[in-house]
Amino acid sequence: MTHRSRWVSAGLAIIVILGIGYGWRTAHYNSHFLSDTQIGGIQVGGQTADQAAQTLKTKLSNQTYTVEEHSKALAHFTSREAGVKAYSETQLKQMIAKQNSYSWPVHAINASADDQRLSASAMDNSDLTVLADRITQMAGTNRSATHNAKLVYKGHKFTIQKPVYGTEVSQASVKAALIKAIENHQSTINLADAYVKPTVLANSKALVSAKDHAEKLSKNRITYRITNHSIRVPSEAIASWLTTKNGKLATSNAKIEQYLIKLSHQYGTIHKTRHFKAHDGKTVKVPAGLYGWSIKVTSETPLLSKAILAGKPVTRTPVIQGTGYHKDGSDLGSTYIEVSKPEQHMWVHKNGKIIISTAVVTGKPVSGTTPSGVWDVWSKQRNAVLRGKNDDGSNYASPVKYWMPIDNTGVGIHDSPWQPRYGGDWYLTHGSHGCVNTPPSVVGKVYAAVPLHTAVVIY
């Protein structure tokens, strides 16, 4: 054999040996982790699934974490409290099966670790939620709020207000920060990573589009018809109500409510003192009572908001609550009851004419004084029993054939067969407990003449 042949034979032998070694190591890594493998920062290189499971269980059970803010520790917790679970042997075998065992030489030469992150699936969700709750409470509530970028109307123009980055935290934001830190095997967690972040920024395309749309909506014509008045909602007011929520165009319902409350006070009648023209033509000042109407602000607010965002011209009557609303602007209408305490007399006005005129007995001063005001026949009952207390504290139960309550304290109009006389100054010594005592021969006619919600003016 020549010298050259001997070298060739030796080379082939080395190749065979290396091939056998490479094959053996490749087969080895079919059941073992590659040499530089870490899981959640824990070295498991060269270990079988069973060995790695034990390593992870031991290491993870002793892992501690610190939550800090401004370099001060806020909370400490263990991996056990966070619900961190070591992967099962089956899961680890699946990880080994996915690795490229033929690449073991690269992993043997390079020092960079093949780090398998602990995924959220390796953590117990309920444990994480409890932990996040605890840390959120420890963080406290005295924190600056985070606000999205939004549309504002100021100085007669729309502008986009930049977002506000606050220090507030939520259970969800803390939980997300915990998961991220544990996944990346960080033992120290900065609470700032859990601050709630704005979800809408100033350069949002939706926000820029909303600004252009708001300028058009503010110029829309919205008109209210209230009694015999026509009121156009000012464009400036509409503009000031437009804003954005999570980047989408919306209205400030609080500002709309303020406008409607003002409108209701201006045109409504429920709390207003009236200058009433009495039967004799004289004007009498009468305080407010139950009779009257106002705008039902809670119902009208969403309807006005909807009309604003629709962007179409509209004329509407607001939602009204109470009694006495008339499209022609009149208040009491042409049918009402008038009671004069000084004259001890009652007049029933029907369709503009007095159809009943009768003496009555009102409440005995001072304890039983009949309340002045504009009231409402809110119920009509036959054969009722009126109950209450006499001046001496004893109870009374008085049956009546006709009962028409008018206020919210038990005052009403009814027959009073126990009264021997009506009118004059009889009420000063024999007055009622506040009701308008009406002669039995007349009260049936009154009952038949007036419908429910007829106004009763007492002065």
The pLDDT tens digits of the residues spanning 330-345 come to: 999 999 999 999 999 9
In a 10 Å sphere around its CB, with 0-12 CB exposed, 13-18 middle and 19+ buried, how is residue 150 labelled? buried
Tokens of 119: 């995924």
What is the arithmetic mean of pLDDT over 157-175? Answer: 96
Distant-in-sequence, close-in-space partners of 191: CB < 8 Å, separation ≥ 6: 67, 68, 69, 74, 135, 139, 169, 174, 177
pLDDT in tens, 47-105: 898 888 888 777 776 789 999 999 999 999 998 898 887 677 888 888 888 888 777 77
Instruction: Please give the residue that has the higher pLDDT: either 50 or 232.
Output: 232
Q: Is the pLDDT reported for residue 277 higher than 60? A: yes
Q: What is the pLDDT of residue 113?
A: 47
Instruction: Please give the residue that has the higher pLDDT: either 375 or 124.
Output: 375
271 part of the active site? no
CA-to-CA distance for 437 and 360, rounded, in angstroms? Answer: 6
What is the arithmetic mean of pLDDT over 142-161? Answer: 95
CA-to-CA distance for 212 and 311, rounded, in angstroms? Answer: 13
Which residue is it, tokens 């309920």?
126
Q: What is the pLDDT of residue 86?
A: 67
Half-sphere exposure of 65 (CA within 13 A, CB side): 27
Average pLDDT for the chain: 90
pLDDT-derived band at 238 (thresholds 50, 70, 90) equals very high
Q: Residue 147 pairs with which residues in a beta bridge?
A: 164
The overall pTM is greater than 0.75: no
Q: What is the pLDDT of residue 13?
A: 55
- Among candidate residues 32, 349, 433, 435, the one labeled active-site is 435
Task: Say which range, 35-49, 56-70, 144-158, has the weakest mean pLDDT.
Answer: 35-49
Which of 3.40.50.2300, 3.30.390.30, 2.40.440.10, 1.20.190.20 would CATH assign to domain 336-458? 2.40.440.10
What is the arithmetic mean of pLDDT over 239-247? Answer: 93
Q: What is the pLDDT of residue 172?
A: 97
Q: What is the pLDDT of residue 21?
A: 59
Q: What is the pLDDT of residue 182?
A: 86
pLDDT in tens, 288-320: 999 999 999 999 999 999 999 999 999 999 999
Quickly list DSSP for 28-74. Answer: HTTTB--TTEEETTEE-TT-BHHHHHHHHHHHHHT-EEEEEETTEEE
Q: What is the pLDDT of residue 11?
A: 57
Residue spans of the domains in the chain: they are 205-322, 336-458
b (16+ CB within 10 A) / e for 397-420: ebebebbbbbbeeebbbbbbeebe
- Among candidate residues 32, 349, 414, 433, the one labeled active-site is 414
Q: Is the pLDDT reported for residue 16 higher than 70? A: no
Q: Is the pLDDT reported for residue 181 higher than 50? A: yes
C-alpha separations of 154 from 159, 320, 363, 400 in Å: 7, 32, 58, 64
The number of helices, as runs of H, and strands, as runs of E, in the chain is 12, 26
In a 10 Å sphere around its CB, with 0-12 CB exposed, 13-18 middle and 19+ buried, how is residue 376 labelled? buried
Q: Is the pLDDT reported for residue 416 higher than 70? A: yes
Q: Are both 205-322 and 336-458 of the same fold?
A: no
Q: State which fold the 205-322 domain adopts.
A: Ubiquitin-like (UB roll) (3.10.20)
Q: Is the pLDDT reported for residue 276 higher than 60? A: yes
What is the arithmetic mean of pLDDT over 5-14? Answer: 58
435 part of the active site? yes
Q: What is the pLDDT of residue 117?
A: 57
The answer for 352, left when phi > 0, alpha when psi is -120 to 50, beta otherwise, is left
Q: What is the largest CA-CA distance in the chain?
A: 156
